[in-house]
Chains A and B, each alone.
Chain A
Amino acid sequence: MSILVDADTTFIVQGITGREAINLTRECLDYGSGAKIVGGVTPGRKGRNVHGVPVHDTIADCVEAHGKPIDGSVVTVPPAFTKDAVFEAIENDIKLIVVVTERIPRRDVAQMVELAALRGARIIGPNCLGIIVPDVIKMGGIGGPARNAAQAYTPGPIGVISRSGGMTTEMSSTLSAAGLGQSTAISIGGDAIIGSTYAELMPLFDADEQTEGIVIYTEPGGRMEAELAAWVTETGCRMPIVAFMAGRFMDEMPGMSFGHAGTIVEGKEDTATEKIARLADAGITVAEEISEIPELMQSKLQAGSTA
């Protein structure tokens, strides 16, 4: 199985007539068994279609046209309008929202996340590339055009969670080349506040029978890794976890932001060094290079080790 999405997942694309959104729609329709994109929203563009997907003015219209609830939405609208778009999705009973947009002020993100929690919806992102279940479905730009995504991602037992969209593909490709396919790979976004953190996604992977190991990509900034380490220590994770930490050089450059908006060293706890120590304390192996990840994972899987 997979987590969050499967072949039957229906979703819409908000901001579907934008240049990137048109490409993304094509990619998702082409990939795997073909995403069930049941509609798109761009206010004022009702009646058009994007690669055969009908465009509506409102999500309510999408739901009405579809005739039953819609599972998800990919949000690609500009940052100033993203909060409104996500609120619209949540209030129309959409339960899985992938926010692609970057440079959204933190307060807006926090408001979306809080409303989602109240309504039992989940947000992935913002500033992310979405979710992919190899050979089945991709929801978002993750992996790029279907042909490229198929080259990097293969089905298998590894769950991938990454703060970097590009590195989700790099790591999955490395795993695939070593014969370790992926159950589900998720680009969670690089902002300071995001909808779903490692620790919030782990219970889903934990409950998924296909997933036997977890690979994560991490960066300096924030407390997400500490949260993961605490989750592993408290629950006793059944699966081995291998992490890769990029941006080690940033420890020497406090106050400077590199890579992603959330990647900034502000205190002692969010340095790469501190995070590596914390992850290691929880039994999570931290790889020095991406190319080491498959071997580290194989040996942990063979040893039947947890975390």
Chain B
Amino acid sequence: MRFFEYEAREIVKRSGIPVTDFGFTTDAAEARTIAERIGGSTVIKSQVLTGGRMKAGGVKFADTPEEAQAHAADILELEINGQMPRGVLVDPKADVKQEYYAGVVWDGTAKKPVILFSDMGGIDIEDVAREHPAHVGRVHLSNILPLSDYQAKECIAQTGVTGKALQRLTPIVRKLAQLFVDNDMVLAEINPLAEMHDGSFIALDAHMDMESEARGRHKQLLKDLGVGDDETRMAREPTEFELAGEAVDNASHRGVAGNVTEFDGNIGLVIGAGGGSLTLFDAVRAHGGKPANYCEIGGNPSVEKACGLAKLVLQKPGVDKIAVMMSIVSNTRVDIVARGVIKACLELDMDPAEKIAIFRIPGAWEEEGFKILEKYGIEYADRSVSMHEAARRAVAKIAGPEAVTT
């Protein structure tokens, strides 16, 4: 779960790392007040969860509080990569001697966090790593042993930084590592970490990403930051269709109708489970089909859940028929899913045989399921029909044979 910059900086501040005297606001007039408090030149930064702010005009410099207010007013109206800003951050313009980078991320291969440090800050660390590998320090952290200053020191020293700078950077980088561990972060990054002309260091920008699964362990922090339980902070905001999908999932506790995601095609999909959905969605597209949605059913959903999801997809504008497909199931019952999707059609006064283009779910309770499908005249397939072949049939039936590409 990504944090906005103003939240990330607050987290950095709480960990004891020096930050600037920044302010956050959703109001242009208040931006002026903050700029007055700061005194001198300021930077006004759009608070969006996307990159490329500078290019999009979401970062502006102001010499006076009036200018700060005007910039804030512009930026608050400016959409960046489809996102309206949460607000603006008003920051003192820093007089920087040198920019550094400090970050902590997971190394999935080593299965440990790794500290990354560079004396070339302010730019993308991946670019630095590629073009100037000697300028990136790396030290892995144990998951069991306590953190220690020497790990931060080694990482910094790898880039050739020594003297007072090394001494002053060490506790900052160690605190960043501690913050990463304590808050279940998957990314904790200060870039740039600035060295001022007086030799002090200060965090000028920060990126933080907390593991969604661990949110429950950090309720107080999230409350303090004003992050609502319903904020998913995904790459984009959920659509109405997706929120309705979530409501279907929440309506009954048994099983999962997860990750309902909207697309703009015409092929309605009731698919599962995790890997099966990925495979089937690819398969529909590989055969020239344009899915109307993505979803993951599984975990033995109730008749109501399967019914609710099928209804939602059937009622989506542009959808004429649905394809009900899964990889071989062992926990989920074929007959229950069959009952659910048939019920959805009947409740919408639709003919299941016409609306369900194909039903391909082999596995547990398939004999019972196939019997029901047969009764309603629905085209179904067992495991002898591959997932890709089932997807091809769905595309041919819904989009027309001419739409099938392979």
Known: A144-B330, A255-B234, A259-B296. A166 touches B386 (CB 8 A): no
**Bound-complex Cα distance A254 to B388 (A):** 25
- Say whether B211 contacts A105, CB under 8 Å: yes
- Say whether A192 contacts B106, CB under 8 Å: yes
Known: A106-B186, A144-B364. A170 touches B276 (CB 8 A): yes
**Bound-complex Cα distance A53 to B181 (A):** 39
Give the B interface residue count (CB, 8 A): 53
**Residue A227 at the chain B interface, CB threshold 8 Å:** yes
- Say whether A249 contacts B281, CB under 8 Å: yes
Q: Which residues of B contact A291 (CB under 8 A)?
A: 386, 388-389
B108 to chain A, nearest CB (A): 5
**Residue B228 at the chain A interface, CB threshold 8 Å:** no
Interface 1/0 per residue, A81-120 and B, CB below 8 Å: 0000000000000000000000111110111011100100
**Bound-complex Cα distance A249 to B387 (A):** 16
B236 to chain A, nearest CB (A): 8
**Residue A224 at the chain B interface, CB threshold 8 Å:** yes
**Bound-complex Cα distance A255 to B184 (A):** 18
Residue of A nearest to B185 (CB): A107
Which stretch (B115-123, B151-159, B282-290, B337-345) binds chain A? B282-290
- Say whether B213 contacts A148, CB under 8 Å: no
B34 to chain A, nearest CB (A): 30
**Residue A1 at the chain B interface, CB threshold 8 Å:** no
| Of the residues A79, A144, A167, A253, contact of B276 by C-beta under 8 Å | A167
Residue of A nearest to B2 (CB): A255
- Say whether A141 contacts B294, CB under 8 Å: no
Q: By DSSP majority rule, is chain B's interface helix, strand, loop, or mixed?
A: mixed
Q: Which residues of A contact B106 (CB under 8 A)?
A: 106, 110, 192-193
**Residue B111 at the chain A interface, CB threshold 8 Å:** yes
**Bound-complex Cα distance A145 to B213 (A):** 29
**Bound-complex Cα distance A152 to B328 (A):** 9
Q: Which residues of B contact A80 (CB under 8 A)?
A: 216
Known: A110-B143, A247-B278, A258-B277. A166 touches B327 (CB 8 A): yes
**Residue B95 at the chain A interface, CB threshold 8 Å:** no
- Say whether B275 contacts A162, CB under 8 Å: yes
B252 to chain A, nearest CB (A): 15
**Bound-complex Cα distance A113 to B266 (A):** 45
**Residue B274 at the chain A interface, CB threshold 8 Å:** yes
- Say whether B261 contacts A258, CB under 8 Å: yes
| Of the residues B126, B234, B387, contact of A290 by C-beta under 8 Å | B387
**Residue B112 at the chain A interface, CB threshold 8 Å:** yes
Known: A111-B144, A173-B383, A290-B388. A166 touches B111 (CB 8 A): no
- Say whether A289 contacts B386, CB under 8 Å: yes
Q: Which residues of B contact A202 (CB under 8 A)?
A: none
**Residue A182 at the chain B interface, CB threshold 8 Å:** no
Known: A249-B285, A291-B388. A105 touches B213 (CB 8 A): yes
Q: Which residues of B contact A165 (CB under 8 A)?
A: 273-275
Q: Which residues of B contact A267 (CB under 8 A)?
A: 126
A218 to chain B, nearest CB (A): 10
Write 9 A-B pairs (CB below 8 A) sorted by A numbering. A103-B213, A107-B211, A114-B112, A165-B273, A166-B272, A170-B276, A246-B278, A250-B278, A290-B386
Residue ranges of B at the interface with A (Cβ–Cβ < 8 Å) = 106, 108-109, 111-113, 126, 142-144, 181, 184, 186, 211, 213-214, 216-217, 234-236, 259, 261, 272-279, 281-283, 285-286, 294, 296, 298, 326-331, 363-364, 383-384, 386-389
Question: Told that A107-B181, A114-B143, A291-B389 touch, could you supply 7 new A-B pairs with CB distance under 8 A?
Answer: A114-B112, A165-B273, A166-B276, A166-B326, A167-B327, A223-B109, A290-B388
